[in-house]
Amino acid sequence: MGKHKTPMLDELEKGPWPSFVSDIKQQAEKGKQALKDAPDDLLGVMELSYKDKVTHWKHGGIVGVFGYGGGVIGRYCDQPEKFPGVAHFHTMRVNQPASKFYSTKFLRDLCNLWERYGSGLTNMHGSTGDIIFLGTTTDNLERVFYDMTHELNQDLGGSGSNLRTPSCCVGLARCEWACYDTEEACHELTMEYQDELHRPAFPYKFKFKFDGCPNGCVAAIARADMSVIGTWKDDIRIDQAAVKAYVGGEIKPNGGAHAGKDWGKFDIVEEVVRLCPTGCMSWDGSTLKINNRECTRCMHCLNVMPRALRPGTETGASILFGAKAPILEGAQLSTLTIPFIRMEPPFEELKELVNKVWDWWMEEGKNRERLGELIQRESFQKFLEIMELSPDPRMVSEPRSNPYIFWKEEEVEGGWTRDIKDFRAKHQR
Amino acid sequence: MTDEEAKKAILDTLGGKSGAKTKFYLKDFYKIVPDMKPRDVKNLVNKMVGEGLLEYWSSGSTTLIGLKGAGKQHREED
Ligand code: SF4
Ligand code: SF4
């Protein structure tokens, strides 16, 4: 029995699912954490919030570690007498290793560090990707930071109006679809932009995410101001013998992911050809054909028949800008801006793009305006001018029915003349 | 404008603000020292935080900047 009665939270322990309530109780019972009462009082204040239907955390704070303007978020409880264990409950963001690879020793060391100075409670991982240490007091912040950087060789991540901790998919380390080395790119940009990661430089947050292919395991297209998504330029590689083996049932589709149930015989026409979003595939009973010019790299056919179809060999990435969750405006996905660039260290071309974008956004962005909102407000055309790029039909979702790009007179050979009086005579305002 | 002049302008402007406002966006600083580039303003602000003249306040999602020790939050957090 914990320190506080928590009937509502206890409900969340029922059923077959893992429960964060059970996890917090486990830490309370273990009792090794420096902030002895933190897990119990955290449950207490959460139960009170469920009852009152309002948060009991105050908004933000001034705490940090010396030299950094991010990575620590001040949290204070507005019922400190009732819940002294969480009166000060600051969060620290730890820059996760690329692709979230670490040894069990490293994980143990992180957990021991956090028990030594904090509540022992962590969040693996926050939605940006960081390892999150939940809850410590102001006087422990520098101690955690010192031991973490000196003993574990590990840095804090980004928060506030900083560059946020860049994140990447598992990439070449384990995935056959990776079209570039996502870990290398993520690490290289993290090191290049240390200053922006640790010191607030921007009107609001900025995120880089690196997906090795359009399957998008870190969802770069939905979550990053700059999304780097692996792609290829040449044709999908087809092994016709393996295609036949799929058709003949010798190889299970989707790597056997749906093999537990009887879905019937694999039907290449129904399950692949007719599901191709651009209708660019055909199957004549013995040969699979792809009109690669029309392929949008949706990955469906490759996912279904990984042993028969592989991405091409001329690989790189597409760069998209402006995804975000709702803040000033609603949620939006990134917009394709650079259809293809080579992705080779030290990624100079990529860095040039970043610098152009940042100069513009730092100058023109309003407070709390994400890059995507600035593009919306100033127009995509303006964005292309800043990036020194020419409009391209691939940037437009329906280039034939919605040309989207407006040309200026000087951009069109021969220009044009238009008499505004003449125009207004025919068209009212 | 030298760094020292810029610092003085920032401290004078922030110190001279009456009323409730004690926290400012980085962008507000651009206006105080209009001939400095955004990156240089950012670096100067960070330097002033290091020197104990200014401090960052963060909600977790955004960062605001104020004179060290100013405002209600500071009294509560000490
Ligand atoms: S995004 Fe693509 S390359 Fe990266 S792990 Fe996922 S499937 Fe593999
Ligand atoms: S990747 Fe998608 S668009 Fe391209 S051929 Fe396969 S199913 Fe069609």
If you average pLDDT over residues A407-412, what whole number do you get?
80
Residues of A in contact with B55 (CB under 8 A): 62
Ligand 1 centre and the CA of A192: distance in Å?
Answer: 24
Report residue B78's pLDDT band, with 50, 70 and 90 as the boundaries: very low
The tens digit of pLDDT for each residue in A291-349 reads 999 999 999 999 999 999 999 999 999 999 999 988 777 899 999 999 999 999 999 99
Domain with B54 in it: what CATH number? 1.10.10.10
Asked if A127 is an interface residue toward chain B (Cβ–Cβ < 8 A), one would say: no
DSSP 8-state class, residue A78: S
Assigned fold of A167-231+318-395: Sulfite Reductase Hemoprotein; domain 1 (3.30.413)
Which CATH entry fits the domain spanning A237-310: 3.30.70.20, 3.40.190.10, 3.30.420.10, 3.40.50.300? Answer: 3.30.70.20
User: Which residue in chain B has the smallest CA separation from A139?
Assistant: B78
The tens digit of pLDDT for each residue in A259-283 reads 878 888 999 999 999 999 999 999 9
**Of residues A118, A83, A121, the one with CA closest to residue A4:** A83
- Residue range(s) defining the domain that contains residue B56: 3-77
Same fold, A7-151 and A167-231+318-395: no
The tens digit of pLDDT for each residue in A135-192 reads 999 999 999 999 999 999 999 999 999 999 999 999 999 999 999 999 999 999 999 9
Phi, psi of A408 (to 5 degrees): -90, 160
Residues 5-24 of A with CB under 8 A from B: none
- What's the domain count of chain B? 1
Question: Could you tell me which residues are beta bridge partners of residue A227?
Answer: A209, A320
What tokens appear for A54 in the block? 């309002």
CB A221 within 8 A of CB A323: yes
Distance CA A155, CA A255 (A): 38
**Of residues A273, A221, A210, the one with CA closest to residue A247:** A273
pLDDT at A419 (0 to 100)? 85
For chain B, what is the largest distance between any 2 Cα atoms, rounded to a whole number of angstroms?
37
What tokens appear for A361 in the block? 């956004």
Q: What is the CATH number of domain A7-151?
A: 3.30.70.2500
ipTM for the whole complex: 0.89
CB A106 within 8 A of CB A151: no
**Of residues A79, A278, A60, the one with CA closest to residue B65:** A60
Ligand 1 centre and the CA of A303: distance in Å?
Answer: 11
User: Which residue in chain B has the smallest CA separation from A361?
Assistant: B38
Model-level pTM greater than 0.90?
Answer: yes
Report residue B16's pLDDT band, with 50, 70 and 90 as the boundaries: confident
The tens digit of pLDDT for each residue in A83-125 reads 999 999 999 999 999 999 999 999 999 999 999 999 999 999 9
* Domain extents in chain A: 7-151, 167-231+318-395, 237-310
Ligand 2 shell residues, CB under 6 Å: A 276-278, 280-281, 290, 295-302
Helix (H) or strand (E) holding A320: strand A315-321
Distance CA B24, CA B44 (A): 15
Measured between CA atoms, how close is B62 to chain A, in angstroms? 4
Residues 30-89 of A with CB under 8 A from B: 58-64, 66-67, 69-70, 72-74, 76
The tens digit of pLDDT for each residue in B18-37 reads 666 889 999 999 999 999 99
